[in-house]
């Protein structure tokens, strides 16, 4: 029978048979797939597993701490946290083009991961959160973003250079199965049912050049939006929601003072396959509340706008 329990039992056996007493390395992103792989491997082989979590400075508010508390503190998984914010932001200096930014973030990720991995001894396996749709996708022709998603998520080139063999326990599973076994393995359902988050993170939600203060502003605004979606029970009704930092400045007024500051856009979509999407018709009162909170709580934002573009013609992300 195809129950989460059975899938888990079956996977545990296969992982143990595959890796034996060898050490395994996993790049933990905080996303659903790599999180479930971490939980599964930890159950299968305990401390033969080491995870590397790269904080690239482009994560959402509190995300790094959340990953560490879930995995390291509560589950006892060995996680090496690498604070690489300066390295990433340094590389992104002066870069405006979205695809260029994606490439830099992807390459820097591989570099940082590689540095950490080379410090570890005796690692024989690299674990990856490849799921069945990824397998199908890479079998067909790949263009544009799909390619980028692949190169980022699969830590391209690494196994070959380091002579690591791949262990991919989710290779035959669909997303909903991955989620169900995640919950069964004790991951918080808040983590398992999170909206997708792009590999390049806030790097493609800060339009144009990425600066630390823009990332900080965006993190705060995004956090308010997501917090209110959860509070209003709207989070699970939309497929993806986030804030975007627009580096244009508009005039506003705070108290008696004129403000000339950047704009925050809110984006929320409903979709089945993320290939096409409808903008979420969120209640006006809800949008009003979020706008007020952002204006009151986040310094240096002059205006909040709501994106009413479908896909097509817009993509879900702004870059
Ligand atoms: P778009 O913007 O193409 O996004 O409509 C469709 C879905 O893909 C995600 N996305 C990415 N994910 N690396 C990723 O891992 C990327 O470079 C990337 N670009 C877009 C996006 O968040 C949405 O869920």
Domain residue ranges of the chain, discontinuous segments joined by +: 4-192, 205-306
Assess: ipTM above 0.90.
yes
**Whole-number pLDDT of residue 65:** 97
Q: Is the CB of 200 under 6 A from ligand 1?
A: yes
Output the CA 146–ligand 1 centroid distance in Å.
Answer: 8
- In this predicted structure, what is the pLDDT of residue 139? 78
Residue 198 Cβ < 6 Å to ligand 1: yes
Beta bridge partners of 277: 311
240 lines ligand 1 (CB under 6 A): yes
User: For residue 190, how far is its CA from the centre of ligand 1 (angstroms)?
Assistant: 21
Residues forming a β-bridge with 52: 27, 80
Residue 243 CA to residue 224 CA, distance in Å, equals 9
- Ligand 1 atom at shortest distance from the alpha carbon of 199: 15
CB 25 within 8 A of CB 48: no
Condensed to tens digits (0 to 9), the pLDDT of residues 293-317 reads 999 999 999 999 999 999 999 999 9
Distance 260 CA to ligand 1 centre (A): 31
Percent share of the chain, pLDDT over 90? 87
Domain 205-306 sits in CATH 3.30.300.10? yes
What per-residue confidence (pLDDT) applies to 152? 41
Q: Whose CA is nearest to atom 20 of ligand 1?
A: 198
165-167, strands of its sheet edge to edge: 78-83, 49-55, 23-27, 123-127, 165-167
4-192 and 205-306, same CATH topology:
no
Task: Determine how β-strand 78-83 pairs with β-strand 49-55.
Answer: parallel
Q: What is the pLDDT of residue 158?
A: 60
- State pLDDT tens for residues 186-218: 999 999 999 999 999 999 999 999 999 999 999
In the DSSP assignment, the letter for residue 189 is: H
**Does the pLDDT value for residue 106 go beyond 70?**
yes
Tell me whether residue 31 is annotated as binding.
yes
DSSP 26: E
- Tell which atom from ligand 1 comes closest to the C-alpha of 102: 17
Say how many Å lie between the CA of residue 244 and the centre of ligand 1: 14
pLDDT band for 178, please (50, 70, 90 cuts).
very high
pLDDT at 38 over 90: yes
- CA atoms of 82 and 104, how far apart (whole Å): 17
What pLDDT does residue 205 have?
A: 98
How is domain 4-192 classified at the CATH fold level? Rossmann fold (3.40.50)
pLDDT tens digits, one per residue of 54-102: 999 999 999 999 999 999 999 999 999 999 999 999 999 999 999 999 9
Taking the whole predicted model, whether its pTM rises above 0.80 is answered as yes
């Amino acid at each position: 029978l195809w129950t989460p329990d059975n899938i888990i039992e079956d996977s545990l056996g296969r992982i143990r048979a595959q890796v034996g007493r060898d050490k395994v390395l996993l790049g933990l992103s905080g996303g659903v797939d790599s999180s479930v792989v971490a939980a599964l491997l930890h159950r299968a082989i305990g401390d033969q597993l080491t995870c590397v979590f790269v904080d690239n400075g482009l994560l959402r508010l509190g995300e790094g701490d959340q990953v560490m508390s879930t995995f390291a503190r509560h589950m006892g998984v060995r996680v090496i946290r690498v604070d690489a914010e300066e390295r990433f932001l340094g590389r992104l200096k002066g870069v405006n083009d979205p695809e260029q930014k994606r490439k830099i973030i992807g390459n820097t990720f591989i570099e940082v991961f590689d540095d950490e991995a080379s410090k570890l001894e005796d690692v024989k396996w690299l674990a990856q959160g490849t799921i069945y749709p990824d397998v199908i996708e890479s079998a067909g022709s790949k263009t544009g973003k799909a390619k980028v998603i692949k190169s980022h998520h699969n830590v391209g080139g690494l196994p070959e250079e380091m002579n690591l063999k791949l262990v991919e326990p989710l290779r035959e599973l669909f997303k909903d199965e991955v989620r169900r076994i995640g919950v069964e393995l004790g991951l918080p359902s808040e983590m398992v049912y999170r909206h997708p988050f792009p590999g390049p993170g806030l790097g493609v939600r800060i339009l144009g050049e990425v600066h630390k203060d823009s990332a900080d502003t965006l993190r705060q605004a995004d956090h308010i939006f997501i917090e209110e979606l959860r509070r209003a029970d709207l989070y699970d009704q939309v497929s993806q929601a986030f804030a975007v930092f627009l580096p244009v400045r508009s005039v506003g007024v705070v108290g008696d003072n004129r403000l000339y500051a950047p704009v925050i856009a809110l984006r929320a979509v409903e979709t089945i396959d993320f290939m096409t999407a409808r903008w979420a018709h969120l209640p006006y009162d809800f949008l009003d509340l979020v706008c007020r909170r952002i204006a009151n709580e986040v310094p240096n934002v002059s205006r909040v706008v709501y994106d009413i573009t479908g896909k097509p013609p817009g993509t879900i992300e702004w870059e």
